Amino acid sequence: MRIVYDWAGQVPILPTSGRVNTGNSGETVIVIKLGNRQSDHPAEGVNAGQETRFTPEALARDREVRGHEKAHLASLGPYAASLVQYDTARAPGGGSVAVGGRIAVDLAEVPGDPAATLRKARAVFASAHAPGDPSAADLRVAARAYELMRDANKELETSEYA
């Protein structure tokens, strides 16, 4: 089974949600539509002539959040199970700023391949610390990745001596 996260209709060959049988392989694909694409610029999408007011603190927080999440996404590589999903706040004149964000992460073992599981766990662990100021959620992901690394190492050691 495969899960595909469709960010604002970016996967045109699949339906907007539900299950799809991919034919001969019999693999089931679950498509999850994540909503509208959000801008990388807080004032984008504001109506012309409409003033958007953001405090310097709000803009700084927006830059901090977006940079933090982009650092995770860049270091996750193929183990990211979604794009960045931002929590935003709206300004009185329109537009929005990011106040939080998250990325789904693939933390499943690679069946029958502890070395691949170990590589994945190491990448996820490094990604959790990539921004340099990990949040509590980042530390929970790092802890789970550490457990995955520990289990994969044990499995590799056991197979070496068997």
Residue 103 has pLDDT above 50, yes or no: yes
Over range 4-22, report the average pLDDT.
44
What is the C-alpha to C-alpha distance for residues 54 and 51, in angstroms, rounded to an integer? Answer: 10
pLDDT given for residue 28 in this prediction: 54
Residue 80 has pLDDT above 70, yes or no: yes
Element containing residue 87 per DSSP (H, E): strand 85-90
Tokens at 152, concatenated: 């994969």
Dig out the tokens for 140 from the structure.
């929970």
Per-position DSSP letters for 86-151, written without gaps between them: EEEEE-TTS-EEEEEEE--B-----TT-HHHHHHHHHHHHHHHHTTSS--HHHHHHHHHHHHHHHH
Q: Which two tokens stand for residue 159?
A: 């197979």
Beta-bridged to residue 86, according to DSSP, are 101
